[in-house]
Amino acid sequence: MYMGNLRRKDESWDYRTADTKEYTHCFHTYPAMMIPQIARRLLNQYGVEGEWLLDPYCGTGTSLVEASLFGMHSVGCDINPLVRLIATTKLTPIPLKTLDSELNKLNDALFQVEFGVDKIPDTPIPKIPNLDYWFSEEVIISIVYLLDCINKIEDEAVRNFITVAFSETVREVSWTRTSTFKLHRMPAEKLENFNPDVFGTFRKKLNRNREGLAAYMEKRKSVEASICDANTVDGELPMPRPLGGYNLVITSPPYGDSQTTVAYGQFSRLSAEWLGLPNARKIDRIAMGGSHASETLTDTPVSSAIDRIRSIDEKRAREVAAFYIDLERSINSVVQTVSPRSTVCYVVGNRRVKDVMLPTDEFVVYAFGKYGFTHKETIIRNIPNKRMPIKNSPSNVAGQTSITMNEENIVICQRTD
């Protein structure tokens, strides 16, 4: 049962001035990333070296990197192949001598082209829909050359490292508005003066990421860490599964269905298409809440809020309900994988839809409570530096916006045998 007096606001969890890009956390931007300081603090409170951590919605792997630094083995899952690549790369140690050798060769090749010593060879351009809508011809030629260079690298770990820098470069040199996660083209007046330095942008990413990798390898413990594509909503269980189960879950599930909340799939689409990754245009539809079930939610902490939304907009109510149905299914899968004496920490936002607040934190407590978990506490923190939309349009009238969330809740539940 949810106890209101177990909720407390604590500004020491805000980390307003903290460096959130330490170690390999600097590798790649992504929507609504959990800041590492939260995972670090939860690990210090509830983690035990040598035990196992699970993140069922791992994104780019923040909690997994922190687990590796702390000394816990970890497994993460995500349905998005691009973020699985990023997370895997952030967790993978690479001998710096090996990496530097490949980076020097790559830099030499780019230098020869930049200064006209060599011509960019004619390389087939991938068949990507609307490519010339998002990229200039000059940028396309440079990206094709970069990708060709990367694909020739034999060492998989090094190739992944360079691919992650390539992925972030692709978005920054495109005609996409970088102020939003959804795919919107720059206005015409900005396009005229937009002449990105593709190779220069790429080099900056590589240099930054190399520094992050060096710092990570210096502090990383000798632990196992892996990423899988298990979709816990569909009952797929994370692997490998440790004997006795995972001891700790630290995760931040989506705030709502991706099509109306945080557009994870749209954000990663251009990079995913250049890299030939599967489901590049389907991530938001196959994500949590992406398809509407015939089930209804009754007697849950979000049911009355959904009923109020339904009185305003039936379609939005179905979308919201679908997300919570999927979240509960996912929690059911997570419960099957954890140990009899486990702690789960879910970082969630109580978003507003049609100006109705949805108590996601209470729903998480309710869902775990069905399996014998006791609510330990919910910490409310301000969101000073998490990249995500904090406003939406509840009426769909241009110019009319409402704050969706400027706080998030760290929900902690425990199961004892």
Could you state, in order of their start, the residue ranges of all structural domains in the chain? 4-86+225-414, 96-217
The pLDDT mean for the chain works out to 92
Residue 92's CB is within 10 A of a number of other CB atoms, namely 17
Euclidean distance between CA atoms 214 and 98, whole angstroms: 12
What pLDDT shows up at residue 386? 52
| Average pLDDT rounded to a whole number, residues 288-314 | 89
Choose the most confident range, by mean pLDDT, from 47-56, 314-323, 387-396, 402-411.
47-56
Omega cis (within 30) before 240: yes
Residue 290 has pLDDT above 90, yes or no: no
- Identify the pLDDT of residue 385: 60
Rounded average pLDDT over 293-306: 88
CB atoms within 10 A of CB 416: 10
Residue 37 per-residue DSSP state: H
Query: What percent of the chain stands above pLDDT 70?
Result: 92
- Alpha carbon separation from 257 to 99, 138, 288 (Å, rounded): 39, 36, 6
pLDDT band at 262 (very low <50, low <70, confident <90, very high): confident
The pLDDT, as a whole number, for residue 194 is 94
* Contact status, residue 288 vs residue 323, Cβ threshold 8 Å: yes
Distances (CA, A) of 121 to 104, 118, 136, 148, 415: 20, 8, 18, 10, 60
Reported confidence tier of residue 116, pLDDT bands at 50, 70, 90: confident
401 pLDDT higher than 50: no
Say whether pLDDT at 400 is over 50: no
> Confidence band (pLDDT; 50, 70, 90) for 416?
confident
Residue whose entry in the numeric block shows the structure tokens 């089930």 = 295
- pLDDT per position as a tens digit, 179-202: 788 899 999 889 988 999 999 999
Q: Has residue 106 got a pLDDT over 50?
A: yes
Q: Which pLDDT band holds residue 397 (cuts at 50, 70, 90)? A: very low
**In which band, very low, low, confident or very high, does the pLDDT at 393 lie, cut at 50, 70 and 90?**
very low
**pLDDT (0 to 100) of residue 4:** 60
How far CA 30 is from CA of 38, 178, 193, 403, in Å, comes to: 17, 12, 26, 21
**Residue 402, pLDDT score:** 43
For 336-389, what is each residue's pLDDT tens digit? 999 999 999 999 999 999 999 999 999 999 999 999 999 999 999 999 865 554
Q: Is the pLDDT of residue 91 over 90?
A: yes
Element (H, E) at 99: helix 96-114
Q: What is the mean pLDDT of residues 206-216?
A: 98
Lowest-pLDDT range of 76-85, 114-123, 176-185, 385-394:
385-394
Name the 3-class secondary structure at 411: strand
**Arithmetic mean of pLDDT, 159-170:** 98
Class of the CATH-defined domain 4-86+225-414: alpha beta
Region for 110 from its dihedrals, namely left if φ exceeds 0, alpha if ψ lies in -120 to 50, beta otherwise: alpha
Please name the residues in contact with 270: beta carbons below 8 A apart, sequence gap of 6 or more: 134, 170, 171, 174, 176, 183
Predicted confidence at residue 2, as pLDDT, reads 47
Q: Provide the pLDDT confidence category of residue 72 given band limits of 50, 70 and 90.
A: very high
pLDDT attached to residue 263: 82
Residue range 34-61: average pLDDT? 98
